[in-house]
Amino acid sequence: MLSTDKSSSLVRSIVLGAAGYSGAELAVILARNPYFELVGAYASAGRAAEPFSSLYPRYKQQLDIMVQPWTDELAAGLNGKVDVAFLALPHEASEAVTPLLLAQGIDVVDLSGAFRLKQPQLYPQYYGYEHQHPELLAEAVYSLMEWQSTPLPRLISVPGCYPTACTLALLPLLKAGLVADNCIPVINATSGVSGAGRKAALSTSFCEVGLNAYGFFKHRHRPEIEQNLARKVVFTPHLGNFKRGILATSVVTLKAGVSAEQVKQAFNSAYNGKPLVRLVSHSPNVADVAGTPYCDIHWQQDGEQLVVVSAIDNLLKGAAAQAMQAANVRFGKPETAGLFAGVSHE
């Protein structure tokens, strides 16, 4: 049953995948966003219904909405009752349910990778399945909001966590034409274990994780980063022994004669007036962004070599907060509505 506690003038929203970390963050953000109403929360079909605060006890007496099992048959009953659905689902599940929701007049904000890549032939190689709705790839808009200049459509594809940190770090330099033409950016990025999701697995058990690289040359976020930057990259992700956050270190070669002032101007010009990017005077720390919707960026230059370090919370700026940021803009609300105070479920 859909919750109807608030005024129907608000943007009526549901979250599919509300039991997982990113979906849970979204539910909390939506519940406190004064312009949105969380009218339904859903988890996979095999789960029994239970209160959200049973899944995340810190929200008892704060967010007690029931998390219901989702089945595709429910979509038809949402027509006229829901304005937007946030999908925090596995890639194939998001791809399958999106056309059903769009057919009911419901906007979709998808946090999976189902609609991020514009070339359907890349999905078997990087995601392990054939894309069943390639026509939607052209319709979906990739919502890296600091670089979004066109109106958002009914289908919004939220960037991945690693691509968010890396693209925000490097795009100002590329757009300003400061990077050498033959430069292949080298990116090393470390994520906390929450990036692997809530499902138990030995390889991501906190007591088993130290610090290790993985996904050499084949990680699914590599083509997404290359699509954003319009050039090849060497991207190596790492798994670190901390809960949440991403620290990305990106190295590029600048064109001959590029000055420190030009680099500074590129970043200032790109992010002036962008409330969720902070250009900091020290090397970023994941502890400073954990539980926040910010991306912190710092750089150091040595001649033609430039190192850019960026830090985000993978569950917020890398997922839920960025989804909310896009939905706020889509529905004409303040861009940062709902994004501050009490966002962490640690």
CATH numbers and ranges of domains, the chain: 11-159+317-330 (3.40.50.720), 161-314 (3.30.360.10)
Q: Which residues have a Cβ under 8 Å from the Cβ of 199 and sit 6 or more positions away?
A: none
pLDDT band at 2 (very low <50, low <70, confident <90, very high): very low
Q: So what's the pLDDT on residue 102?
A: 97
Tens of pLDDT, residues 242-271: 889 999 999 999 999 999 999 999 999 999
CB count in 10 Å sphere of residue 81: 15
Q: So what's the pLDDT on residue 343?
A: 39
Q: So what's the pLDDT on residue 211?
A: 87
Give which of 92, 145, 179 is closest to 330, Cα–Cα: 145
2's tokens: 């859909």
| CA–CA dist 337, 161 (Å, integer) | 21
Q: Which residues have a Cβ under 8 Å from the Cβ of 39 and sit 6 or more positions away?
A: 2, 3, 4, 12, 13, 14, 81, 82
Is the whole-model pTM more than 0.85?
Answer: yes
Tens of pLDDT, residues 27-49: 999 999 999 999 999 998 888 89
Average pLDDT score over residue span 11-22: 96
Average pLDDT score over residue span 201-225: 83
Q: Are strands 246-253 and 186-191 parallel, antiparallel or unpaired?
A: antiparallel
- 280 or 9, which is more confident: 280
Instruction: Name the residue type at position 9.
Output: S
pLDDT band at 345 (very low <50, low <70, confident <90, very high): very low
Q: Which residues have a Cβ under 8 Å from the Cβ of 288 and sit 6 or more positions away?
A: 296, 311
Q: So what's the pLDDT on residue 6?
A: 40
Q: So what's the pLDDT on residue 203?
A: 59
Reply yes or no on whether 161 is catalytic: yes
| DSSP label of 78 | G
Average pLDDT score over residue span 170-181: 98
8: pLDDT strictly greater than 80: no
Q: So what's the pLDDT on residue 183?
A: 98
CB count in 10 Å sphere of residue 181: 8
pLDDT band at 89 (very low <50, low <70, confident <90, very high): very high
Mean pLDDT of the chain, nearest integer? 92
CA atoms within 13 A on the CB side of 173: 33
**Chain position carrying tokens 């610090």:** 211
Cα 276-282-285 angle, rounded to 5 deg: 65
244's tokens: 């949440």
Contact of 140 with 187, CB cutoff 8 Å: no
| CA–CA dist 112, 94 (Å, integer) | 7
Q: So what's the pLDDT on residue 9?
A: 87
Catalytic residue, chosen from 161, 166, 183, 295, is: 161
162: pLDDT strictly greater than 90: yes
Contact of 113 with 87, CB cutoff 8 Å: no
Give which of 57, 45, 158, 61 is closest to 107, Cα–Cα: 158
Tens of pLDDT, residues 227-244: 999 999 999 999 998 889
Q: Distances in Å between the alpha carbon of 4 and those of 41, 65, 104, 267?
A: 13, 11, 19, 44
Give which of 221, 245, 252 is closest to 235, Cα–Cα: 221
Give which of 258, 248, 232 is closest to 187, Cα–Cα: 248
**Chain position carrying tokens 């899944």:** 55
| DSSP label of 318 | I
Q: So what's the pLDDT on residue 61?
A: 86
Give which of 276, 277, 201 is closest to 239, Cα–Cα: 201
Tens of pLDDT, residues 267-315: 999 999 999 999 999 999 999 999 999 999 999 999 999 999 999 999 9
**Chain position carrying tokens 């084949």:** 218
